Amino acid sequence: MTDVSSALGSVPLFSALSKRQLRMIAESGREYKYKPEYRLVEKGTTGDRFYLVLDGKVEIRKGGRVLATLSKGQFFGELSLIDEQPWAADVIAVQLTHCLTLSKRVFSTLTRRHPELLQLILKEVVRRLRVAEGHLDS
């Protein structure tokens, strides 16, 4: 878990947390490795996890179009946990990808204890929206 908690500390979303808090998050999550072309998330299903990419790369795809590419230190799944709506797109590994996942319960506890994380998540969601609308470069 030490490697995962160190990796968490280098992610802007979690960088303000203490080593103890990072260790707790790492221990509360589950690690998975996904092979290229593996579908981590299927459009229309209900989201029950927050995903943090520790290594590798995933694409968010909808109708054959790539909406975004996420790599080390980036995350997804937060919207479905917040609004409890089904996934709006598929998420596919495009190379060997290592993720830490947090269950809905762990994510909720974490954001209740550290509301500043919601502010950082919101900033990233807004940034992604602006990129998607063409107001910012990725």
pLDDT digits (tens, 9 = 90+) for 13-24: 777 778 888 888
Distances (CA, A) of 36 to 51, 56, 63, 68: 17, 9, 19, 16
What pLDDT shows up at residue 138?
A: 57
What pLDDT shows up at residue 135?
A: 66
Residue ranges of the chain with per-residue pLDDT less than 50: 1-2
Of 68, 89, 70, the C-alpha closest to 80 is 89
12-30 exposure pattern, b = at least 16 Cβ within 10 A, e = fewer: ebbeebeeebbbbbbeebe
What pLDDT shows up at residue 37?
A: 97
What pLDDT shows up at residue 128?
A: 75
Assigned superfamily of 32-132 = Jelly Rolls (2.60.120.10)
Give the residue extent of every domain in the chain.
Answer: 32-132
Residue 37 corresponds to which tokens in the numbers above?
Answer: 């072309």
